[in-house]
Structure 1
Amino acid sequence: MNDDTFPGDRLLDPARFEREVDGQPVRLFTLRNSRGMVAAITNYGAKIEQLVVPDRQGRFDDVVLGYDSLEGVIGGSPSMGAFVGRYAGRLANARFTLAGSDHVLSANNGKHCLHGGLRGSRFRVFEAEQHDESSVEMRYVFADGEEGFPGTLALHLTYRVTEANELLLDYEALALDKPTVASFTTHAFFNLNGEAGGSALGHEVMICADRHFAMNAELVATGEILPVEQTLFDFRRPTVLNTRVRGVPPESGAGLNATGEWVDGYDCCYLVNRSPSDGLALCARVRAPESGRVMEVWSTEPAMQFYTGLLPQEPLPGGHGKRGWAYFQQQGLCFEPQGYPNAPNRPEFPSAVYQPGQSRHGRTLYRFSTAP
């Protein structure tokens, strides 16, 4: 990559991520393709800390929110960039019943278990090995009883940048000894104008879903799956977020939708449109009119959480991000392919259970291009 397209001093310094945590070595792994795309990923939480792609003029910028040191990662927003497990999303009342046994989990979101609990994979050091310039493999073994979940579960994760300007995530989990439950996702915060580009509410979003999961007031899936038609959840056609999200409403109310309603933001889960024969399915397409960058989200997962943050201009938890930037809600957008939310407590949903010896493989990719 040429220094005149993305300054070398803005590439993250691996030395600032090197130390031991919980007796395990932490590093930053830099992945590249021949076209100038760069991804920097730390094995603390398997977190994406930098992702450099071109705009319509061929200028490179970093399009994910993140931190420029391990101290920043540890003290910062715990989900930012993370690979999330053992169970993505909220499990109601931090408990579930499996094979006649009740399992009580760590409650870290009010009375619920969110993203694996108090010390889910977001806070764990993965074993990691980089075999070539474009990929890194990471492994973590969830112990029987960890955060209250039963069974030992081995997770193998590969990040790869491709020559098609894609960030590819392959993941496989294997239950080793007891029945357990699992659902994984990736939690990067994207701003296609650049991570210091301010509000992302000018982005245009399309989500390939005719239905969404009903949530209660605490954002826990109730078991109902509802049509998006004629609701504020309908993104089947490309829609600029600031025509829906309150943010700072334009004068005269020009941004109001047809029913005159605003939302404060989105934290909702969609059932992705797919046929039974689909492997990878298109989940979402995002365009930033200012930069011309386009991102497509493809996955084998059946559902996708869409998150903007619900508190306009509220600072994200933790300290400042890269280059000292203060990050706020709605400055980054999350597209999180995953299993059915709260499935261990919803018998009407497909099972999230792994039997001993059973493995499951998933793939998610973020594909970058440009448009006029």
Structure 2
Amino acid sequence: MGTVGAWLPDKKGRLTSVIVGFDTIEGLAKQTSYYGAIVGRYANRIAKGKFTLEGEKYSLPINNGPNSLHGGKANFSYKVWDAKQIDEQTVVLETLSEHTEEGYPGNLQVKVTYTLTENNEITITYEATTDRTTVVNLTNHAYFNLNGEGNGDILYHVVQINASHYTPIDSTLIPTGEIAPVKGTPFDFINPERIGKRINNDHPQLKFAKGYDHNFVLNRHGAHLPVASVTGDITGIKLEVFTDQPGLQFYTGNFTPGTNLTRGNVKDTMRTAFAMETQHFPDSPNKPNFPSTVLKPGEVYNTQTTYKFSV
């Protein structure tokens, strides 16, 4: 039984699998690197698994060094969602995250809609409501190799990110709270650049994350302009990312263990895939200067991200 992926023609018309997946559901269930998962209730990291909301202190499971990552140990990536196919191009997933689940307040009702368009786009729409004040930050954690999954590293892929600033991290990968300019640093992707050109530079931020695993503060865009693009150097396949979110986590697979056997019995070795996770900023509940991730009763969390492919 195959698992979900995306197959596209490259510049020579050859069908190419660009999203890393698994040959079996069992393989997908065993892995711990969030391949293709919806992650939440809070995507990315919260420092020491603690935050205070409306004067009340909350504690979350610690599952990434001293911090809580992607919603905790039993996060959304482990849920069995209720699925409904609307038509040939649309699937809706729904779940209830109960009050105090993984330490978070409020019964959170979540709906995620995947739509495949006629323009080679995958659009993901996230909606959530709560019955008490909580924090929410949802994303998708697909891993891409635009030269074809299992076809070597991604260091010669060319990346452009429309972000003049990023959020530096400490040694545990938690943002320091600073919003720093990318100019003059290895994080400047305003102009297209190879992923591998500066990834091994002697820069403390790169050493902390063993490469890129950082939140980029996106410049404001119109509805039809991409916030980022990546092009495979061998296939010519191009991925463009569109989102209404303020941040983008660019992750170069620095911590993939090399023990998961992905589709075709290929080991997921370091830097053989990348992720572009649209999001609010990591640790926002503890950083008042970051955009708020608070959701209150009566409000609707609603956000949309589109991944568009072309050659």
Tell me if 1:86 matches 2:41. Answer: yes
Alignment partner for residue 290 of structure 1, among 217, 234, 248?
Answer: 234
**Corresponding residue number in structure 1 for 2:156:** 202
**Larger gyration radius, structure 1 or structure 2:** 1
Tell me if 1:326 matches 2:267. Answer: yes
- Gapped regions of structure 1 (runs ≥ 5): 1-12, 15-27, 29-39, 41-49, 247-255
Tell me if 1:274 matches 2:220. Answer: yes
Cα distance per residue 1:221-252 (max 9 Å; x no partner):
12110000000111111111221123xxxxxx
Matched residue SS, 2:264: helix
**Corresponding residue number in structure 2 for 1:59:** 14
Deviation at 1:279, TM superposition (A): 4.3
- Percentage of identical aligned residues: 37
Cα distance per residue 1:122-151 (max 9 Å; x no partner):
111110011211111000111100000000
Tell me if 1:111 matches 2:111. Answer: no
Higher mean C-alpha deviation, range 71-80 or range 139-148: 71-80
**Corresponding residue number in structure 2 for 1:100:** 55
**Corresponding residue number in structure 2 for 1:308:** 252
* Structure-2 separation of matches of 1:342 and 1:316: 28
Cα distance per residue 1:201-235 (max 9 Å; x no partner):
11001111000012111110121100000001111
- Gapped regions of structure 2 (runs ≥ 5): none
Tell me if 1:212 matches 2:158. Answer: no
Matched residue SS, 1:323: coil
* Structure-2 separation of matches of 1:268 and 1:215: 8
* Structure-1 separation of matches of 2:129 and 2:76: 15
Q: CA RMSD in A?
A: 1.9
Say if 1:173 and 1:359, in contact at 8 Å, map to a contact too. yes
* Structure-2 separation of matches of 1:72 and 1:53: 23
Q: Calculate the TM-score normalised by the size of structure 1.
A: 0.79
Cα distance per residue 1:19-70 (max 9 Å; x no partner):
xxxxxxxxx6xxxxxxxxxxx3xxxxxxxxx111111122211101111211
Matched residue SS, 1:344: helix
Say if 1:91 and 1:113, in contact at 8 Å, map to a contact too. yes
* Structure-2 separation of matches of 1:279 and 1:348: 25
Say if 2:186 and 2:199, in contact at 8 Å, map to a contact too. no
1:198 aligned partner, one-letter code: G
Tell me if 1:366 matches 2:307. Answer: yes
Matched residue SS, 2:74: coil
Aligned ranges 1:140-179 → 2 under 5 Å: 140-175=95-130, 177-179=131-133
Deviation at 1:283, TM superposition (A): 1.9
Say if 1:186 and 1:336, in contact at 8 Å, map to a contact too. yes
Matched residue SS, 1:119: coil
Deviation at 1:309, TM superposition (A): 2.8
Matched residue SS, 2:48: helix
Say if 2:159 and 2:193, in contact at 8 Å, map to a contact too. yes
